[in-house]
Amino acid sequence: MKISKKAQSVPASMTLEISAKVKQLKSEGKSIIGFTAGEPNFNTPDYIIESAKQALDNGMTKYTPVAGIPELKKAIVEKFKRDNGLEYEESQIIVSDGAKSSLFHAIYCLVDEGDEVIIPAPFWFTYEEQVKICGGKPVIVQTKAENGYKITPSELENAITDKTVTILINSPSNPTGALYSKEELLALSKVVEKHNLTVISDEIYEKLVYDGVEHVSIASLSPYMKENTIVVNGVSKTYAMTGWRVGYLAAPKALAGAISRVQGHTTSNACSFAQYASVTALQGGEDVIENMRQDFDERRKYMCSLLDEMGVKYIKPQGAFYLFIDISQFIGKAFEGKVIDGSMAFASILTENGVALIPGLPFHADNFVRVSYAVSIDDIKEGFKRIKAFIDKLN
Ligand SMILES: Cc1ncc(COP(=O)(O)O)c(C=O)c1O
């Protein structure tokens, strides 16, 4: 059977692939600690599950409006006002089956064939693939350690051409955990406005921030940014609801209309009863979220302390639940005769030795590997013991 050239050029999602491999190795009885998953290891809070059950009992099992049920759109409007100081009308909100889907639809509706999209690296690899699928050209800007792996106004300015349409900002970042301050976003927004561009702001990790830092939405910084930013968010990470598949975006009215039209032909509405559960999620339970955040914070600090003890460098994350570990000192070394020539080899040989993590290459950072601290303290303890044993054997 023919497979389209478009489809053939799309690689599989590496995180999903490696997570599946870990599951398979475990089912074969191998002892393997997985630091790969991009999801909380908590169950969805009971009161959210209860509201989904209630929605099912109430017969909420049918199609809903493409852009989401009115109750959820209202809850999202309130959330933007409460958390981000952003005022939207319900017509500007599009609920989708996950932030990934919202991102795709936003890119699809902004980008024509050959249009350029600026993506600061390291970045979540889905961005690049989505831009390519939509016919756009990803323009990758390598950020620097001295700038906290965040794009600077001059780097942005230098990357802009007459084909540039939008820039993707992800704060806090997957994979680095970097968080842009208000001042940094303000400086970037001036460049964006000067060149009449738009921003797609992926704020999915907004609630997972540490050390007292504050998440700011670039959309809230000026009337221009409000009118020219697509804010993407969802319930997956904050409420431990990855499997429910509910995301959302806020966009200027005309673009929101286009996204709704396209979504009407791609995925239609997000799961009906998951939308009702998302209303409950967004309307309360701050203490539940705070408890999860504190647990992540504890694990983050624990992992950092273990790496410090091992003398291994990493990017100290201010948000999300990932640690990006610098493996440059191990590149060129060998494990039992197998040479580590980059992050792929490092990850692959380590997996054979009982620890799975994500290589940095697809994030455009081959000197790094990503571990998730959305895992239990016991797994961190055992996993890092294995990593230390692995590193000690390198020569
Ligand atoms: C940066 C980033 N954005 C978006 C998503 C997608 O989230 P969702 O589960 O809502 O599709 C992820 C998931 O890993 C992510 O890391």
Question: Which atom of ligand 1 is nearest the CA belonging to 234?
Answer: 10
d(C-alpha 293, C-alpha 287), whole Å: 10
CA of 99 to the centre of ligand 1 (A): 6
The per-residue pLDDT string of the chain (395 residues; one tens digit each, 9 = 90 and over) reads 999 998 998 887 776 777 777 778 888 888 999 999 888 989 999 999 999 999 999 999 999 999 999 999 999 999 999 999 999 999 999 999 999 999 999 999 999 999 999 999 999 999 999 999 999 999 999 999 999 999 999 999 999 999 999 999 999 999 999 999 999 999 999 999 999 999 999 999 999 999 999 999 999 999 999 999 999 999 999 999 999 999 999 999 999 999 999 999 999 999 999 999 999 999 987 888 999 999 999 999 999 999 999 999 999 999 999 999 999 999 999 999 999 999 999 998 999 899 999 999 999 999 999 999 999 999 999 999 999 999 999 99
- Cβ neighbours around 16 below 10 Å, total: 12
Q: How far apart are CA 26 and CA 32, in angstroms?
A: 6
pLDDT in tens, 357-384: 999 999 999 999 999 999 999 999 999 9
By the 8 A CB rule, do 150 and 170 touch? Answer: no
Which residue's CA lies nearest to atom 7 of ligand 1? 99
Lookup result for tokens 């290891």: 41
Residue of 169, 174, 203, 207 best suited for mutating to test ligand 1, as the one with most atoms within 8 Å of CB: 174
Contact 249, 102 (CB under 8 A): yes
Rounded to the nearest angstrom, the distance between the alpha carbon of 309 and the centre of ligand 1 is 31
pTM: 0.96
Ligand 1 pocket mutation, candidates 18, 44, 97, 100, criterion most atoms within 8 A of CB: 100
- End-to-end CA separation in angstroms for the chain: 48
Q: Which residues contact 31 (CB under 8 A, 6 or more apart)?
A: 354
Report all structural domains of the chain as residue ranges with CATH numbers, in order of start. Answer: 5-43+287-392 (3.90.1150.10), 47-284 (3.40.640.10)
In degrees, rounded to 5, the angle at the alpha carbon of residue 150 between the alpha carbons of residues 330 and 114 is: 100
pLDDT digits (tens, 9 = 90+) for 182-241: 999 999 999 999 999 999 999 999 999 999 999 999 999 999 999 999 999 999 999 999
- d(C-alpha 144, C-alpha 146), whole Å: 5
Q: Can you name the residues that pair with 121 across neighbouring β-strands?
A: 142
Nearest residue (CA) to ligand 1, atom 1? 174
User: What is the CA(100)–ligand 1 centre distance, in A?
Assistant: 6
Burial 146-175 (b: 16+ CB within 10 A, else e): eebbbbbbebbeebbeeebbbbbbbbbbbb
CA of 293 to the centre of ligand 1 (A): 17
